[in-house]
Amino acid sequence: MVMTAARPVVLSGIQPSGQLLISHYVGAMRNWVAMQDTHDSLFMLVDLHAITVPQDPATLRARCYDFVALYLAAGLDAQKNTIFAQSHVSAHAELGWILNCYTHMGELERMTQFKDKSTRAGAVINVGLFDYPVLMAADILLYQATHVPVGADQKQHLELTRDLAIRFNHQYGEVFTVPEPFIPQTGARIMSLQEPTKKMSKSDPSALSYIGLLDTPDVILKKFKKAVTDSGSEIRFDPEEKPGVSNLLTLLSIFSNTEIPALERHFEGQGYGALKVQTAEAVIAFLAPIQEKFAALRADEGALDDILADGAGRARARAEVTLRRVYDAHGFLPRR
Q: Would you please indicate which residues are annotated as catalytic (active-site) residues?
A: 117, 199, 202
What's residue 208's pLDDT? Answer: 95
Q: CA-CA distance, 210 to 194, in Å (whole number)?
A: 8
DSSP H or E run through 181:
strand 180-182
- Report the C-alpha gap between 178 and 59 in whole angstroms: 36
First to last CA, the chain: 25
The one-character DSSP state at 207 is G
Per-residue HEC secondary structure of 17-46 comes to CCCCEHHHHHHHHHHHHHHCCCCEEEEEEC
Burial 291-326 (b: 16+ CB within 10 A, else e): bebbeebbeeeeebeebbeebbebbbebbbebbeeb
Encode the chain (336 residues) as per-residue pLDDT tens digits. Answer: 344 446 899 999 999 988 999 999 998 899 899 989 899 999 999 999 999 888 999 999 999 999 999 999 999 999 999 999 999 999 999 999 999 999 999 999 888 877 777 777 667 788 998 999 999 999 999 999 998 887 666 788 899 999 999 999 999 999 999 999 876 655 557 999 999 999 998 888 899 999 999 999 999 999 999 999 988 889 999 999 999 999 999 999 999 999 999 999 999 999 999 999 999 999 999 999 999 999 999 999 999 999 999 999 999 999 999 999 999 999 999 888
Taking the model in full, what pTM does it have?
A: 0.90
Please give the DSSP secondary-structure letter assigned to residue 180: E
